Amino acid sequence: MPTRDLTLAMIGSGGDGVVTMGEMMAQAGARDGLNVIKVEAYGPQIRGGESSCTLRMSAEPISAQGDAVDVLVVFNWADFTRFKGEVVPKADAVILYEAADPTPISEVVIPAAGKATWIPVPFIELATKATGTKAAKNIVTLGILAELFGIPPESVRKAVEFKFGKKKAGVLEANLKGFTAGREFAQALGIDVSARRLEYTVSDSKLVMTGNEACAVAALHAGCRFFAGYPITPSSEVLHFLSEWLPRAGGRIIQTEDELSALGAIIGGSFAGVKSMTSTSGPGLSLMAEMLGLASMAEVPTVILDVQRGGPSTGLPTKSEQSDLYLAVFGSHGDMPRIVLAPTDVEDCFHATVDAFNIAEETQLPVIILSDQAVGQSRRTVEKANLVHEVIDRRTPNADELADYKRYAQTPTGVSPMSVPGTKGGIYQTNGLEHDETARPASSHVMHEKMSRKRFKKLDFVEEKYPLFVHLGPEKADVGIVCWGSSKGPVEEAMRELAAGGVSVSAFVPRIIMPFPKKAFVEYMASVKTLVFLEVNFVGQLYHYLRTIVDLPAGTRVFARSGGMNLSVTEVKSRVESVLSEAGAREEVTA
């Protein structure tokens, strides 16, 4: 029986072309209309060092990478051991490895792969013979994988042609020879791996993008025309993409000297009337804390993307964690309203970013998008038709409002008409000091209370209009999972498997953290017997934050652990099963 869902992992050293190979296969899959998720992992080295690329291709909808791989390609066992626990083959996986690897195969132990099919492949020899250089071994591998596992061979061949078509004469021919050599090698193997052969019908091609790219495109879509940023892993791709596309769109972009300058600059840009954004990661958001307060106090619409990584301090720069929630929700001195959104996947990065601009413009508040590395840097297929989102622009004061202009006029929603420089009659001098309706500094406790109330009132509007969340699974369930950000993917995958096994499980995934969709959540809590928090941070930041908002039911379980490894499908399943077995045990005792 062929399969409709295949996960491959490739591991090698810098120069082995593992990442290129993964990218070519992902593009080939997308061209054929498959659903693809690709994740790369690297060692801490700037160049060279070990790298891995895991690619899931499916004819069915998929939500996450999946834990165990069907096909493992190892160019070098020494590199494989560096990804211990991160790349795990299935028990009956097909493992292709370099026949000439200095590590004797007798020393390779993969307990999980007890029934695996082991295939030694002379990758280097095949590449050298066919192309004259061992550098082409990834192309040889593409040929082998295409042949053995039905990975769109025609499309992969096109990918090779595209990759090398513009190189100097002979390069393409050599690589095509390598590709064919790989296919011929696979044909001659005579090993039956048909259970791993991908079977699908070609459909409309899909886009391939990362969460960070989706955020960048969404910024352009939302009308962002000024961006200021400081490089930081894992969010720099937003800066990179916009440095090319923002000027083309007629916008302007600068790289600032630090993150507080970045947020300062976009506060300036937005004050001047231009939709503005910055992107960063946790260490940058820490620096931005003072400017967040300014944006909130001066009521300047701003959009801040935080692609979370492991923290605190420098932490785990290249790996995902969901530990900036406290900073995003509570960071800054004083009482300061802000909005926090949490996209759940690549496509949602697009929507969250447009929502962020819309909410910022509607409420004149800083809006933080809490993405994470697992969402931001994973590359996956997206349907273009889904990338549509209404854009809301800033309301500028009308003639009546300008006649007696008050920048911070009290209004029912707390949102006051915001004039921009260039507007006659709209002149005001804003500040980070407490101020009265006309923006003049005012330090009376009465005014401070009044203006604090005005600023916080804006959150009510957002809570009412943007109760953003996803409810997965049945309306009523025994176990109700609460998770956020990139964890939605593995939870959704695990729920499919659990539901297939008859387990009654649902999930509540907030897409907005501040203000929290409280009403929906209260209803959700009533729909499940046991509430289970799954968080990729050590202290359970979402759980503790929610305790400040709602009364959580007794017996609520919290599974929180540090990041560095994304939430896995197996982990979700085992957590749910453990909760169910405990609940079962409790019932027995009571009976």
Q: Which is nearer to another protein, 89 or 223 (CB)?
A: 223
SS3 23: helix
Give the helix/strand (H/E) hosting 401.
helix 399-403
In the bound complex, what is the minimum distance in angstroms from residue 61's beta carbon to another protein?
19
Q: Which is nearer to another protein, 20 or 256 (CB)?
A: 256
Name which of 199, 293, 283 is nearest 235 in CA terms: 283
In the bound complex, what is the minimum distance in angstroms from residue 528's beta carbon to another protein?
38
Do residues 296 and 336 make contact, with C-beta atoms less than 8 angstroms apart?
yes
In the bound complex, what is the minimum distance in angstroms from residue 424's beta carbon to another protein?
5
Kindly give, in sequence order, each residue whose CB lies less than 8 Å from that of residue 526, ignoring residues fewer than 6 positions away.
none
Beta bridge partners of residue 111, listed in sequence order? none
Q: Which is nearer to another protein, 169 or 385 (CB)?
A: 385
Do residues 179 and 162 make contact, with C-beta atoms less than 8 angstroms apart?
no
Do residues 320 and 309 make contact, with C-beta atoms less than 8 angstroms apart?
yes
Q: Which is nearer to another protein, 433 or 522 (CB)?
A: 433
Name which of 84, 91, 48 is nearest 564 in CA terms: 84
In the bound complex, what is the minimum distance in angstroms from residue 544's beta carbon to another protein?
29
> What secondary structure does DSSP assign to 252-279, as a single string?
EEEE-SSHHHHHHHHHHHHHTT--EEEE
Q: Which is nearer to another protein, 273 or 317 (CB)?
A: 273
Q: Which is nearer to another protein, 27 or 322 (CB)?
A: 27
In the bound complex, what is the minimum distance in angstroms from residue 497's beta carbon to another protein?
30
In the bound complex, what is the minimum distance in angstroms from residue 333's beta carbon to another protein?
11
Q: Which is nearer to another protein, 142 or 294 (CB)?
A: 294
In the bound complex, what is the minimum distance in angstroms from residue 562's beta carbon to another protein?
33
Please report, as ranges, the residues that interact with another protein according to CB under 8 A: 27-28, 30-31, 155, 158-159, 161-162, 205, 207-209, 213, 217, 220-221, 225-226, 228, 245, 247-250, 252, 254, 256-258, 260-274, 276, 290-291, 293-294, 298, 382, 384, 387, 421-433, 440-441
Q: Which is nearer to another protein, 125 or 161 (CB)?
A: 161
Do residues 14 and 46 make contact, with C-beta atoms less than 8 angstroms apart?
no
Q: Which is nearer to another protein, 208 or 579 (CB)?
A: 208
In the bound complex, what is the minimum distance in angstroms from residue 163's beta carbon to another protein?
9
In the bound complex, what is the minimum distance in angstroms from residue 519's beta carbon to another protein?
33
Exposed e or buried b per residue across 94-122, where buried means at least 16 C-beta atoms within 10 angstroms of its C-beta: bbbbbeebeeeeeebebeebeebbebebe
In the bound complex, what is the minimum distance in angstroms from residue 32's beta carbon to another protein?
9
In the bound complex, what is the minimum distance in angstroms from residue 154's beta carbon to another protein?
11
Rounded to whole angstroms, the Cα distance separating 367 from 518 reads 19
> What secondary structure does DSSP assign to 120-166, as a single string?
EE-HHHHHHHHHS-GGGHHHHHHHHHHHHH---HHHHHHHHHHHHTT
In the bound complex, what is the minimum distance in angstroms from residue 161's beta carbon to another protein?
7
> What secondary structure does DSSP assign to 345-399, as a single string?
SHHHHHHHHHHHHHHHHHHT-EEEEEEEHHHHS-EEEE-GGG------PPPPP-H
List the 35-42 sheet strands across, edge first: 117-121, 88-98, 68-74, 5-13, 50-58, 35-42, 379-382, 207-210
Q: Which amino acid is at 196?
A: R
Q: Which is nearer to another protein, 298 or 513 (CB)?
A: 298
In the bound complex, what is the minimum distance in angstroms from residue 249's beta carbon to another protein?
5
In eight-state DSSP terms, residue 30 is H
Name which of 262, 268, 255, 301 is nearest 284 in CA terms: 262
Q: Which is nearer to another protein, 431 or 581 (CB)?
A: 431
Extract the tokens encoding 384: 């273009």
Rounded to whole angstroms, the Cα distance separating 63 from 90 reads 19
Q: Which is nearer to another protein, 244 or 497 (CB)?
A: 244
Q: Which is nearer to another protein, 110 or 288 (CB)?
A: 288
In the bound complex, what is the minimum distance in angstroms from residue 349's beta carbon to another protein?
13
Extract the tokens encoding 133: 């250089």
Name which of 377, 66, 60 is nearest 215 in CA terms: 377
Rounded to whole angstroms, the Cα distance separating 26 from 37 reads 8
Integer CA distances (angstroms), 524 to 98, 236, 471, 512, 550, in order? 52, 37, 8, 15, 12
Q: Which is nearer to another protein, 36 or 181 (CB)?
A: 36
